[in-house]
Every structure is written in structure tokens, then in C-alpha cells.
Amino acid sequence: MSSVPSISCIIPTFNRRQILVRTIEMLLDQSSPAHDIVVVDQSTEIPVEVGAKLKAWHDGGQIKWVRQEEPNASMARNRGALESSGEVIVFLDDDIEVERDFVASYQAAFADPEVRATSGLVLEGERETVSMRDPRADDADYGWMFCKRNYDKPFTGCFVMAGNMGVRRGDFMAVGGMDEHFMKGAFREEADFAMRWRKSGRVVHYRPDLKLYHLGGAGVADGGARHWTRKTFWTGWHHYFGSWYFLINHATWRSLPHLLAVDIRSAGVNKRNLCKPWMIPFHLCRWLSALPAALLARMEGPRLIQRHLEGKACS
């Protein structure tokens, strides 16, 4: 017999303003309320009106507002998981729109005890969906690269998007949560989690009924992970680090060509730089400069959520 699981909504945020307030308002106005809403705030600047609203909600017990000094999305997700108490953790972005039955849809999905993790549909721009699925999306090694976040049919695999992702809290802890080596916007953290999840023998259920609209994908300039690269011609160094660190940890001979092709394009060999080909070597040098740091991180080993649990046990 199925039961209704408790849902914890976790929102890492960075320098958001009214978009964050509106996101939380929608989550507070659900037909079936969340067990708790944890906002992990990494902001370097908080407008007075936004801070006052967050404090009022926190003091009133409607949300848990947690401050984190280091801007690190992976660390923020782990912190949120530790601060939450629901049976199911739902990770969300801080710039979304959801319908009133959003939490209820997650409760329905996880009423099935066989479902351990889900990834939901993410709409952007004109809110269009796609019905065709790339055959390469079924590949266990690199299929996640060819999955569309706005695909309109359910499937089972290892594709997750941390902006709309649900996972049973115990399973999240068991596989180590997010790897905190992924810095700032944590490029490739979801793929890393998905690979560790798959290697543990678990699967992810993609559910188009778990849907939301992502404002940041529509080009809304209001803080967020894009804050680090929005006003510069260069791809963020943390992006390059994430691509190398993931490749070193998870690449196979079959996935390596696909990963390198994507990374080289992001490192400057792309249409944007065809009109300035003399800049391509500089982009490639920046990309290569992140490799030593990724190798050092690989030698150190992953920074998983267990280290926080061990720290609590020792204190």
C-alpha cells in the first residue's frame, strides 16, 4: 500500500532578488504543502527588501533560511539536504515558476516505493516541448548528453537536472550527495551524481508531469550561476575545471570523444569565435590551465556529504 511521502524543497540561491521571492511564494502557495523549504543563500549582496522577506518567512517557520559563505552550488545542495527533514528531497533552481500542484505531483511520483530518484521536465523560452528522443540518449556511458530537458515522455535512465530533481533522502546520503569539488556553478555536477547513482545500481525516472518553467533559461539577468560569465567573453574557469574533473573521473573510451568534442567547443572552437580565430588559442590555453587543478582534485578524492556527517559525529 502506497503512502504520501513528505517533500523537502531545497533552493540554493546566489544574488537573486525578486525572482527568488516569487519562487518561494509559489512554493508556499501549493495545494499540498511541502514538509519544509530550505533556502541556502550564498549571496554576496542581499537587497534590504529581499532580506526582510526571507527573515520574516524564516522567523515564521515557513522556510529555513540558511547562509553559506562560499558560493558553491554542490556544497549548497548538500547543506540543504542536511538541513532538511523530508523523506524526499527536491532540488530546485531559484528562478522558476511552478503550478499549485507541483509538490503534489512529486508526492504522487514517490508514492511508488520503487521510485528512488526522478528528473522533471524543464520548460524555457516559449515553453515548447519535444517529442523525439535521440537514440544516443539510451547509452549508459554518455546518453545523458543527448537527453532533452523538455522531452514530453517518461523514460528510465541516468539523466538528472539539479534544477528539478527529486531523490529519496536516504539514497542521496548513501551515494554521497553532490561532490563539492565542483565549484561555483558546479558545471557537470549532475552528470557526476548520475554516474555515481548508476554505478550504485540505481536508476532515475524521468517524469514530464514534474514540470516547471525556468526563468534563467529565458535570459533573465538577475544573479544566479550565470552571474560569473554573463558580462565576459570568456567561459568561466570553474566551468573548465568541472569538465576536466568529470572527464577524469568518469570518461570511458566510448564517452571520451563526445566529452572532448563538447569541451573543445566550449573552450573556444565554436561559431562565436570564427570571426576572431586568433582568440581560439587563448581560449584553449584557459581550458588546459584547469587540468592540473582537476588532477589534484582527483588525487584527493571526492568531497562527498559524508564528511559533514562525520564532522557532526566528532563534534
The residues spanned by each domain of the chain are 7-223, 231-300
Which pLDDT score, from 0 to 100, does residue 235 have? 77
Q: Residues 162, 168, 170, CA angle at the centre, nearest 5°?
A: 115
Half-sphere exposure of 277 (CA within 13 A, CB side): 1
Residue carrying the nine cell digits 519544509: 36
pLDDT of residue 222: 61
Q: Which residue has the cell 522558476?
A: 96
Give the CA dihedral 49, 52, 54, 56, nearest 10 degrees: -140
* pLDDT of res. 42: 95
Q: How far apart are CA 132 and CA 124, in angstroms?
A: 17
For the chain, which ranges sit under pLDDT 70? 1-2, 217-234, 311-315
Q: Which pLDDT belongs to residue 134? A: 93
For residue 211, which phi and psi values (nearest 5 degrees)? -115, 150
How far apart, in whole angstroms, are the C-alpha atoms of residue 137 and residue 143?
A: 4
CA-closest candidate to residue 246, choices 145, 122, 135: 145
Looking at 3.30.930.10, 1.10.1040.10, 2.60.120.260, 3.90.550.10, the CATH number of the domain 7-223 comes to 3.90.550.10
Spacing of C-alpha 70 from chain mean position? 17
Residue 220: phi and psi, rounded to 5, are -70, 120
Which residues, listed in sequence order, are joined to residue 115 by a DSSP beta bridge? none
Contact 161, 198 (CB under 8 A): no
SS3 205: strand
| Burial zone of 152 (CB within 10 Å; 0-12 exposed, 13-18 middle, 19+ buried) | middle
CA quadruple 145, 268, 187, 206: dihedral, nearest 10: -20
pLDDT of residue 228: 44
Q: Are 186 and 78 in contact (CB under 8 A)?
A: no
Residue 278, class by beta-carbon neighbours within 10 Å (0-12 exposed, 13-18 middle, 19+ buried)? exposed
Query: Within 60-137, where are the H helices?
Result: 73-83, 102-109
DSSP state of 272: G
Q: Is-contact 36 82, C-beta < 8 A?
A: no
Grid coordinates belonging to 247: 572527464
